[in-house]
């Protein structure tokens, strides 16, 4: 099992070190190789995704990714910015399905900004399509308007588009995921206004015919944004496009208490995947040893389950995280009175100790 380890920038190096420590504790044989990505790679090689890093990622069964970015790179040309490394990896590895499970651990019910009864027991899965939508559609750019409300004015434009096979494959992923859970898919669109999302709705409905055991509901994105904070437990699997998924999955992260708790997986058709926390490089707290490593550790668990076919090891990590939280240890982002504040490294050590206990036990 070959894992490419790409820590990246900011807190990326701190949190990935803890996830690697956790993987090393398991009685499994991994070949792990580390490479630079993002701003760190730009500093060393002049590019955020050097050829050598890309080659390593492509040859691996899975990529464990930290985070990239720093405000100091904001003035670079867009292709050289750290964030381009993620887009490059998604493109070259053919990653099209982004899984973000939002689970509220009982011990963190108080850390969420929502009422306990709204989020306790929450376990939903957001599946975001990654290859299409307005993020990649051509043409795009700036020009002088020839029509509209201000002809002759400077304007910018993007193109929203989805092909039928793109929608079909993400719909299949969502229905299959729902079959292993509570058998309900909510497809989020804006079919009342956008042609692209009327098409999305039609294609998802067509694919649904192959999954009669799974319930399908359609929901407009504005309503979905509201329902996610009003009654999130009504959802099971949510499937949506690239842009709506980007926004809704960050909204869902706050249901779990902190963005530092939310793992993610991006998969291609061969189950090769990129696993990363849902948060960024957090330059505001980088180097202080206070970042929460649990989203990255839980991403490593997803890696074991989805790409490395080690579901038992994944469950061992997840239950270790649960027992560490139950013991009252918290990083600063999830700390509340009556619990014990620990550093990034202490939190990683505690998860390692909990796993070691189950192996010995």
In degrees, to the nearest 5, what angle opens at C-alpha 67 toward C-alphas 84 and 121? 125
Burial of 174 (0-12, 13-18, 19+ CB in 10 A): buried
Selected from 291, 302, 314, 329, the binder of ligand NAD by CB under 6 A is 291
**If binding is defined by CB under 6 A, does position 349 make contact with ligand NAD?**
no
The answer to whether 150 and 137 have CB atoms below 8 angstroms apart is no
Minimum CB distance to ligand NAD smaller for 167 or for 282:
282
- Using rule CB under 6 A, residue 289 touches ligand NAD: no
Binding flag, residue 273, ligand NAD (CB under 6 A): no
Residues 257-260: contacts with CB under 8 Å, at least 24 apart: 257/104, 257/105, 257/108, 257/109, 257/111, 257/112, 257/334, 258/108, 258/111, 258/292, 258/333, 258/334, 259/295, 259/333, 260/291, 260/292, 260/294, 260/295, 260/331, 260/333, 260/334
Structure tokens at 238: 């949510």
Q: How far is the CB of 12 from ligand NAD (least distance, A)?
A: 7
* Of residues 68 and 265, the one with the C-beta less far from ligand NAD: 68
Q: Are 121 and 97 a contacting pair, CB within 8 Å?
A: no
Select from 56, 285, 297, 352 the one that contacts ligand NAD (CB under 6 A): 285
Of residues 137, 283, 289, 322, which one binds ligand NAD by CB under 6 A?
283
Q: Tell whether 147 is in a known binding site.
A: no
Give how many residues touch ligand NAD by CB under 6 A: 22
51-70: contacts with ligand NAD (CB under 6 A): 67-70
Which C-beta is closer to ligand NAD: that of 53 or that of 310?
Answer: 53
Contacts with ligand NAD, 249-268, as mask; x by CB under 6 A: ----------xx--------
Q: Is 135 a catalytic residue?
A: yes
∠ CA 351-109-343, nearest 5°, is 35
Distance of CA 227 to the CA centre of its chain: 21
Known binder of ligand: residue 127?
no
With the C-alpha atoms ordered 186, 138, 264, 266, is the resulting torsion angle positive or negative? Answer: positive
Q: Is 282 annotated as a binding residue?
A: yes
Residue indicated by tokens 């970042």: 291
Q: Is 270 in the active site?
A: no
**Interaction of residue 280 with ligand NAD, rule CB under 6 A:** yes
Active site residues: 135, 190, 222, 246, 250
Which residues are at the interface with ligand NAD (CB under 6 A)?
Answer: 11, 15, 67-70, 83, 86, 259-260, 276, 279-285, 291-292, 295, 333
């Amino acid at each position: 099992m070959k894992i490419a380890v790409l820590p990246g920038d900011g807190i990326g190096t701190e949190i990935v070190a803890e996830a690697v420590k956790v993987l090393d504790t398991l009685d499994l044989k991994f070949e792990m190789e580390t490479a630079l990505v993002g701003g760190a790679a730009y500093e060393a090689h002049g590019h955020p995704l050097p050829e050598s890093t890309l080659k390593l990622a492509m040859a691996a069964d899975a990529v464990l990714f930290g985070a990239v970015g720093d405000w100091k790179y904001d003035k670079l040309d867009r292709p050289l910015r750290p964030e381009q490394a993620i887009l490059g990896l998604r493109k070259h590895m053919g990653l099209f399905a982004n899984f973000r499970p939002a689970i509220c651990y009982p011990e963190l019910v108080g850390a969420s900004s929502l009422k306990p009864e709204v989020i306790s027991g929450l376990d939903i899965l957001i599946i975001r399509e990654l290859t299409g939508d307005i993020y990649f559609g051509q043409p795009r750019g700036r020009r002088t308007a020839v029509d509209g409300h201000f002809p002759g004015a400077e304007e910018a434009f993007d193109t929203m588009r989805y092909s039928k096979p793109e929608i079909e494959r993400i719909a299949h992923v969502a229905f299959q995921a729902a079959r292993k859970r509570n058998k309900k898919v909510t497809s989020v669109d804006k079919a009342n206004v956008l042609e692209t999302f009327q098409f999305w709705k039609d294609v998802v409905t067509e694919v649904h015919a192959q999954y009669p055991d799974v319930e399908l509901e359609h929901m407009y994105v504005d309503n979905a944004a509201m329902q996610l904070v009003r009654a999130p437990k009504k959802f099971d699997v949510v499937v949506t496009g690239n842009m709506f998924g980007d926004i809704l999955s960050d909204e869902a992260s706050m249901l779990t208490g902190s963005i530092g708790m939310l793992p993610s997986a991006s998969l291609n058709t061969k189950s090769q995947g990129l696993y990363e926390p849902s948060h960024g490089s957090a330059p505001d707290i980088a180097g202080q040893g206070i970042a929460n490593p649990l989203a990255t550790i839980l991403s490593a668990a997803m890696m074991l389950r989805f790409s490395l076919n080690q579901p038992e090891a994944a469950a061992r990590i997840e239950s270790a995280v649960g027992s560490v939280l139950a013991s009252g240890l918290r990083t600063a982002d999830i700390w509340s009175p009556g619990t014990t504040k620990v550093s990034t490294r202490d939190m990683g050590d505690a998860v390692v100790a909990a796993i070691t206990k189950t192996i010995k036990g």
